[in-house]
Amino acid sequence: MSQADQTFAALADPTRRTVFELLVRQSPATATALSGELAISRQAVAKHLAMLAQSGLATAERVGRETRYRADITGLDQLDAWAAEHRSLWTRRLDRLAGVAESGRVVAE
Amino acid sequence: MSDPISRPTPSAKRQILSTPSDVWIELTSPEGFEQWMGEGSTIDVSEGGLLIAVDVESGQPKIGVVTEIDPGRSLRWVWRPLGEPEGPTPPTEVAIELVPLPVDDGHLHTLITVIEQPSMRRVPPLLGSTRPMASLVSLVR
């Protein structure tokens, strides 16, 4: 799986997106601190944070007995490239659809 | 940075000089779909209907399932590259919306918007599956 796919997969989960958004606003943060603001367990938040770190969307730093996470928004650059490619693909698809629809080929619904 | 997640959302938007009902026909009919998506592409526009898309540029086939239909207004499907039953590429959801645009001469044109984004839904693993459509729908929900 490419880095972009990992990032993509990480953000496909709505709860993980919420964790990431919270982390962007509150970095650095621990799983315990974030779970206090979300209706999910510390263990669940810890798993989401680990996945974000694995996907390049966060960095983890061990401080004493706790792990502090920071959002890494440069990880979104992979998605920007993906988005640009797909935007270009869809632009051309819509151009073709417009060509068909505007050609007057449709005669009845 | 107010909304970092919105950055990667790809989209395309275009005005088409035809009515939404005419655009819908070309968007969803077998002939129209094959023309704008690519030769060999098929779509069953019913909830749970299968979609095979062969992109005219890349030739890369994708398999998907239609998930929502509002005739003349919107269409959603989930798809992924064919031949990758468990990844590596995650499925994405495509949402297409048609909005009527009144023009000066009293006719309607169409503003069409496409958003493609990551999806947690699953896509049927095999092309040509003998599963009934109802069970295919259950796979993506």
Q: Which CATH architecture has domain A3-101?
A: Orthogonal Bundle (1.10)
pLDDT of res. B107: 87
First-to-final CA distance of chain B = 33
How does residue A5 score in pLDDT terms, banded at 50, 70 and 90?
A: confident
How does residue B19 score in pLDDT terms, banded at 50, 70 and 90?
A: very high
Whether B110 shows a pLDDT value over 50: the answer reads yes
Report yes or no: B56 at the A interface, CB cutoff 8 Å: yes
Kindly determine whether residue A24 and residue B37, on different chains, have CB atoms separated by under 8 Å.
no
| Structure token digits, residue B56 | 């005219």
pLDDT of res. A79: 77
Kindly determine whether residue A89 and residue B9, on different chains, have CB atoms separated by under 8 Å.
no
Q: Which of B32-41, B80-89, B119-128 has the lowest mean pLDDT?
A: B119-128
Average pLDDT of chain B, as a whole number: 80
Whether A98 shows a pLDDT value over 50: the answer reads yes
Could you report the per-residue pLDDT of B47-93, keeping only the tens digit for each? Answer: 999 999 998 887 889 999 999 999 999 999 999 888 755 555 678 89
Kindly determine whether residue A76 and residue B116, on different chains, have CB atoms separated by under 8 Å.
no
Distance between B102 CA and the closest CA of chain A, angstroms: 16
* Among B17, B12, B13, residue whose Cα is nearest residue B102: B17
* Among A91, A99, A89, residue whose Cα is nearest residue B32: A99
Distances (CA, A) of B94 to A70, A73, B118: 31, 25, 9
The Cα A104–Cα A99 span in angstroms is: 9
Strand order in the sheet with B11-16: B11-16, B108-118, B92-102, B74-81, B61-70, B50-54, B42-43
Distance between A22 CA and the closest CA of chain B, angstroms: 11
In DSSP terms, B108 is beta-bridged to B102
What distance lies between CA A30 and its chain's CA centroid? 19
Q: Which residues of A sit within 8 Å Cβ distance of B? A: 1-2, 5, 8-9, 11-14, 17, 20-21, 24, 71, 73, 76, 79-80, 82-84, 86-87, 89-102, 105-106, 109
- Return the percentage of chain A with pLDDT > 90, whole number: 51
Distance between A61 CA and the closest CA of chain B, angstroms: 22
ipTM of the shown complex: 0.80
Residue B48 CB coordination number (10 Å): 19
Report yes or no: B97 at the A interface, CB cutoff 8 Å: no
Whether A40 shows a pLDDT value over 50: the answer reads yes
- Return the percentage of chain A with pLDDT > 70, whole number: 92
pTM score, two decimals? 0.72
The Cα B92–Cα B140 span in angstroms is: 11
First-to-final CA distance of chain A = 44
Nearest by CB: A101 against B4, B7, B26: B26
- Return the percentage of chain B with pLDDT > 90, whole number: 56
3-state secondary structure of A32: helix
Question: Looking at this protein, which amino acid is placed at residue A50?
Answer: A
Kindly determine whether residue A96 and residue B36, on different chains, have CB atoms separated by under 8 Å.
yes
Q: What is the mean pLDDT of residues B99-126?
A: 82
The Cα B71–Cα A64 span in angstroms is: 58
Residue A18 CB coordination number (10 Å): 18
Q: What is the mean pLDDT of residues A40-45?
A: 94
The Cα B73–Cα A39 span in angstroms is: 36
How does residue B131 score in pLDDT terms, banded at 50, 70 and 90?
A: very low
Whether B95 shows a pLDDT value over 90: the answer reads yes
Whether A94 shows a pLDDT value over 90: the answer reads yes
Report yes or no: B66 at the A interface, CB cutoff 8 Å: no
Mutant choice from B16, B60, B99 vs A, greatest count of A C-beta within 10 A: B16
Kindly determine whether residue A5 and residue B37, on different chains, have CB atoms separated by under 8 Å.
no
* Topology classification of domain B9-124: Alpha-D-Glucose-1,6-Bisphosphate; Chain A, domain 4 (3.30.530)
